[in-house]
């Protein structure tokens, strides 16, 4: 058994002699928490600003510093003061009266306008390819349009909307302690809608099935009106789809995904495009989810969400509306309400099954402390402005196989100075109908928006606690020490410009968080009177690993840099050597850049989620700056080299000051910058806190990197050829078996197995070939050799910190 696992078990045995496992969480601890005041009085950053490079006008015009001081509101806290009435009866019926007073603008039936739209008329009259002119009768086409339109939407019913808001309000108060929203974020959205006169398109992350109900309720309660939500038709039964359509939901018809030359597909896409155009013209807000649900076995970016976003981009480019204001949205939970039901995420949810799931959630969550949720609305920006400015940042791209395979095999040492091309999200019918240039625009825009959503998301207390227990105190930690560590990591998160979704007294907050994680954490009372907090060995560590990914964006740059430094040191000194010995080695800036680039090309883009307008070289410089700022690296002035603090270089003034950030037009610029960095060297800092912090940063990427390394080990054991899903299942079972042996259950995740298989396919390790039974995965001839498999495993292992 692994040392870590054995230590946990010994700690439990010794504690059982001095005392027994205890449950310090008591009813009411969570009820004392306040999510309005800054945590421990520390500075709370204002997050959610749009990109200054791609949308400078929006960045300046749609923000005012006064909104930073507006604070938070609890959107599910409805009292007598929130209604126009007063009295004892009002206090008991305030939820119902509040729902009656919500302003619901009239929603007209747009079927006639959809029928009269240019795209639909072209199909009906036969002017479009595959239209009615090829033998179809126009009257039958009109009936088909009505049928497709009925599948997409229905006129919202005001009575059902008010009833829905009342039911959801009561349900959310039973499920959540509070649902927080920054009033400054809401004011930015209102200002954008009023001053710009453009329709709002809200693009959100997707953490739970509840998001599709919670977000429309929050936006309706804040005066944005009825928000039309683009739902996944595969996630709902026909009865549930009919109910949701009357509440403002939109569903993409299945015919829209047919081939481009199919007459049914052409008609369905024309009707969908007309519906989106009428929504934008009427000014109704549209909510699109750009993420798949966490339980979905597939790409993280949603193909359906990109299809709806492509329809919006096409409407703006055609001049149907002058512009659209895009609003990145994110929602975070202490614990995702339906996390226990993620394996059913892809199954159609019926009305009765959905009601039973709600009742199960209420029964399970009401027995323990209630959780908190935060809704984040980032700064809106102009779609027209982004379209104009973003095209200047497009540069050359190469596949992962072209970039990394020669280096992995030792055939080359030069990392090409180009961006990686990696697209895991399939292109569906509506997006496939666009030009290739517009498809690339939509894909880059969706990544840009998700980057903004993740950057504005608050880090919840459960994510900080899971990160500490999994990556910093794997052998257990005393509660008195954990209090200080929790405060330290919270402060480090705030200093990096990320907000936190909690506040209150530190001891109550930590105990409340441990009570939420009680299924995966054990608290043992020892003879000194303190408590020992240890993680329960077993598959529950995977749940902690998933929670810790919420904190990864805040430390991603430092984690990449720490793994790059680790790879450099592994070739010079023994990894298990003392910190003082490793600090003697000089680290060249060029070598650091190279290792960071290799790691950037190896890791999936869906996980990195870098801004498309930022070049790899700029990001390497950002990583190095972060390592210096956090104190891990210290500049070393070598004799005869230019000082690191020298800012008066003629070459810098002549070549770089006038150059736009991310400009790829000069192919020699980045290589010149690398040449300038040849004389710069760094050492590891010898401060007492640096060794622990360095190991903590390296371990943040360990679950993914270890899964990749084990996938490389599995190459000579796997049964190939096999289907992609079959090989993923083989690798997942191997990860589970390995976890039972070494105790690292955080790697035994099916999503990590999928990422490893897709990464190896992009790297050229696995090849997909057609067969009568469908596409089959084969081991490429290059990596069929044992020595090349060992080179691949060594390449990955150099970044892993034990």
3-state SS string for 85-122: CCCHHHHHCHHHHHHHHCCCCCCCCCHHHHHCCHHHHH
Whether the pLDDT of residue 33 is over 60: the answer is no
String of b and e for 750-766 (b: at least 16 CB within 10 Å)? bbbbbbbbbbbbbbbbb
Give all domains of the chain, ordered by start, each with its CATH number.
56-122+140-337+366-391 (no CATH), 471-543 (3.30.420), 702-798 (1.10.10)
Q: Which helix (H) or strand (E) holds 609?
A: none
DSSP at 321: S
* pLDDT at 356 (0 to 100): 54
pLDDT digits (tens, 9 = 90+) for 226-242: 899 999 988 888 888 99
- For CA atoms 100, 101, 104, 105, give the dihedral sign: positive
> Average pLDDT for residues 430-434, to the nearest whole number?
88
* pLDDT at 576 (0 to 100): 62
d(CA 102, CA 236): 27
Whether the pLDDT of residue 782 is over 70: the answer is yes
Asked if 678 contacts 590 with a C-beta cutoff of 8 angstroms, the reply is yes
Whether the pLDDT of residue 438 is over 80: the answer is yes
d(CA 732, CA 548): 21
pLDDT digits (tens, 9 = 90+) for 270-288: 999 999 999 999 999 999 9
DSSP secondary structure string for all residues of 412-439: --PPPSSEEE---SPP-HHHHTS-HHHH
DSSP at 783: G
Whether the pLDDT of residue 153 is over 60: the answer is yes
Q: Give 609's pLDDT tier (boundaries 50, 70, 90).
A: confident
Whether the pLDDT of residue 165 is over 80: the answer is yes
Asked if 507 contacts 40 with a C-beta cutoff of 8 angstroms, the reply is no
Task: For 450-528, list the strands marked E by DSSP.
Answer: 477-478, 521-525
Whole-angstrom CA distances from 296 to 346, 349, 691, 760 are 6, 14, 38, 21
Whether the pLDDT of residue 12 is over 80: the answer is no
Which ranges constitute the DSSP H helices of 176-317?
Answer: 183-196, 211-221, 238-246, 263-282, 303-317
Higher-confidence position of 18 and 167: 167
d(CA 125, CA 138): 7
* pLDDT at 780 (0 to 100): 95
d(CA 802, CA 454): 29
Whether the pLDDT of residue 454 is over 90: the answer is yes
Which structure tokens are listed for 292?
Answer: 């798949």
pLDDT digits (tens, 9 = 90+) for 578-605: 665 666 778 899 999 999 999 999 999 8
Among 82-96, 131-145, 694-708, 760-774, the range scoring the smallest mean pLDDT is: 131-145
Asked if 363 contacts 510 with a C-beta cutoff of 8 angstroms, the reply is no
Burial level of 126, CB count in 10 A (0-12/13-18/19+)?
Answer: middle
pLDDT digits (tens, 9 = 90+) for 315-366: 999 999 999 999 999 999 999 876 444 444 445 555 555 555 555 555 555 5
Higher-confidence position of 767 and 95: 767
Cα 736-740-742 angle, rounded to 5 deg = 110
Whether the pLDDT of residue 21 is over 70: the answer is no
DSSP at 722: B
Asked if 378 contacts 340 with a C-beta cutoff of 8 angstroms, the reply is no
pLDDT digits (tens, 9 = 90+) for 701-736: 999 999 999 999 999 998 999 999 999 999 999 999
Burial level of 645, CB count in 10 A (0-12/13-18/19+)?
Answer: exposed
Q: Give 18's pLDDT tier (boundaries 50, 70, 90).
A: very low
pLDDT digits (tens, 9 = 90+) for 110-149: 778 888 888 888 887 775 665 555 445 467 777 888 899 9
d(CA 99, CA 543): 37
Residue with tokens 């006008």: 57
> Average pLDDT for residues 45-55, to the nearest whole number?
87
- For CA atoms 579, 585, 589, 594, give the dihedral sign: negative
Average pLDDT, the chain: 82
Q: Give 250's pLDDT tier (boundaries 50, 70, 90).
A: very high
Cα 346-372-490 angle, rounded to 5 deg = 110
d(CA 76, CA 35): 13
Q: What is the dihedral of CA 108, 113, 115, 120, to 10 degrees?
A: -130
Q: Give 40's pLDDT tier (boundaries 50, 70, 90).
A: very low
pLDDT digits (tens, 9 = 90+) for 190-212: 988 888 789 999 999 999 888 99
Share of the chain above pLDDT 70, in %: 81
* pLDDT at 390 (0 to 100): 83
Higher-confidence position of 674 and 489: 489
């Amino acid at each position: 058994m692994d040392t870590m696992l054995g230590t946990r078990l010994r700690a439990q045995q010794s504690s059982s002699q001095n005392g027994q496992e205890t449950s310090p969480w008591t009813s009411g601890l969570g009820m004392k928490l306040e999510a309005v005041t800054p945590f421990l009085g520390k500075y709370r950053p204002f997050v959610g600003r749009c990109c200054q490079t791609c949308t400078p006008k929006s960045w300046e015009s749609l923000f005012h510093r006064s909104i930073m001081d507006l604070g938070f509101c609890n959107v599910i806290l409805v009292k007598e003061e929130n209604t126009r009435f007063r009295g004892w009866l009002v206090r008991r019926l305030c939820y119902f009266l509040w729902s009656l007073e919500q302003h619901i603008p009239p929603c007209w039936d747009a079927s006639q306008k959809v029928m009269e739209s240019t795209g639909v008329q072209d199909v009906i009259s036969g002017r479009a390819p595959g239209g009615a002119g090829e033998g179809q009768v126009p009257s039958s086409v009109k009936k088909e349009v009505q049928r497709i339109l009925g599948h997409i939407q229905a006129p919202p019913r005001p009575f059902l909307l008010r009833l829905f808001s009342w039911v959801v309000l009561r349900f959310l108060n039973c499920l959540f302690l509070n649902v927080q929203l920054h009033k400054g974020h809401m004011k930015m959205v209102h200002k954008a809608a009023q001053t710009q006169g453009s329709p709002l398109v809200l693009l959100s992350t997707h953490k739970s099935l509840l998001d599709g109900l919670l977000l429309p309720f929050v936006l309706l309660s804040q005066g944005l009106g009825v928000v039309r939500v683009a739902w996944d038709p595969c996630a709902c039964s026909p009865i549930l789809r009919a109910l949701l359509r009357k509440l403002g939901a939109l569903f993409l018809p299945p015919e829209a995904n047919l081939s481009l030359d199919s007459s049914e597909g052409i008609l369905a896409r024309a009707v969908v495009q007309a519906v989106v155009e009428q929504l934008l013209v009427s000014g109704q807000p549209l909510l699109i989810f750009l993420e798949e649900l966490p339980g979905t076995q597939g790409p993280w970016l949603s193909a359906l969400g990109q299809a709806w976003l492509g329809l919006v981009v096409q409407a703006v480019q055609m001049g149907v509306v002058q512009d659209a204001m895009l609003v990145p949205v994110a929602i975070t939970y202490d614990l995702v309400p339906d996390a226990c039901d993620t394996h059913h995420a892809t199954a159609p949810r019926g009305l009765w099954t959905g009601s039973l799931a709600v009742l199960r959630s209420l029964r399970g969550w009401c027995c323990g402390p209630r959780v908190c949720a935060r809704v984040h609305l980032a700064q809106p920006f102009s779609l027209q402005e982004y379209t104009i400015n973003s095209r200047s940042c497009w540069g050359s791209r190469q596949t992962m196989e072209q970039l990394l395979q020669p280096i992995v095999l030792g055939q080359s040492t030069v990392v090409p100075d180009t961006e990686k091309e990696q697209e895991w999200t399939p292109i569906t019918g509506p997006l496939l109908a666009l030009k290739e240039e517009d498809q690339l625009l939509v894909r880059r825009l969706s990544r840009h928006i998700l980057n903004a959503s993740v950057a504005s998301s608050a880090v919840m207390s459960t994510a900080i606690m899971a990160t500490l227990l999994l990556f910093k105190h794997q052998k257990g930690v005393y509660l008195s020490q954990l209090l200080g560590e929790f405060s330290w990591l919270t402060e480090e998160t705030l200093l990096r410009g990320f907000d936190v979704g909690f506040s209150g007294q530190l001891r109550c907050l930590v105990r409340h968080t441990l009570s939420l994680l009680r299924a995966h954490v054990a608290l043992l009372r020892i003879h000194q009177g303190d408590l020992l907090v240890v993680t329960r060995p077993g598959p529950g560590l995977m749940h902690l690993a998933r929670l810790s990914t919420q904190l990864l964006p805040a430390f991603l740059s430092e984690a990449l840099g720490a793994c790059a430094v680790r790879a450099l040191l592994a070739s010079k000194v023994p990894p298990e050597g003392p910190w003082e010995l490793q600090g003697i080695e000089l680290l060249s800036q060029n070598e650091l850049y190279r290792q960071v680039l290799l790691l950037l090309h190896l890791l999936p883009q869906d996980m990195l989620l870098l801004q498309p307008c930022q070049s790899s070289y700029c990001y390497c410089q950002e990583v190095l700056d972060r390592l210096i700022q956090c104190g891990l690296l210290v500049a070393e002035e070598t004799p005869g080299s230019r000082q690191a603090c020298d800012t008066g270089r003629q070459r810098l003034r002549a070549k770089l000051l006038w150059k736009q950030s991310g400009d790829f037009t000069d192919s020699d610029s980045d290589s010149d910058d690398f040449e300038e960095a040849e004389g710069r060297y760094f050492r590891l800092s010898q401060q007492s806190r640096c060794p622990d912090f360095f190991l903590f940063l390296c371990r943040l990427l360990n679950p993914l990197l270890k899964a990749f390394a084990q996938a490389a080990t599995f190459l000579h054991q796997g049964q190939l050829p096999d289907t992609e899903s079959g090989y993923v299942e083989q690798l997942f079972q191997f990860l589970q078996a390995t976890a039972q042996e070494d105790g690292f259950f955080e790697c035994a995740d099916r999503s990590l197995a999928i990422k490893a298989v897709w990464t190896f396919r992009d790297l050229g390790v696995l090849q997909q070939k057609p067969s009568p039974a469908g596409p089959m995965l084969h081991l490429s001839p290059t990596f069929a050799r044992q020595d090349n498999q060992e080179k691949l495993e060594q390449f990955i292992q150099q970044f892993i910190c034990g």
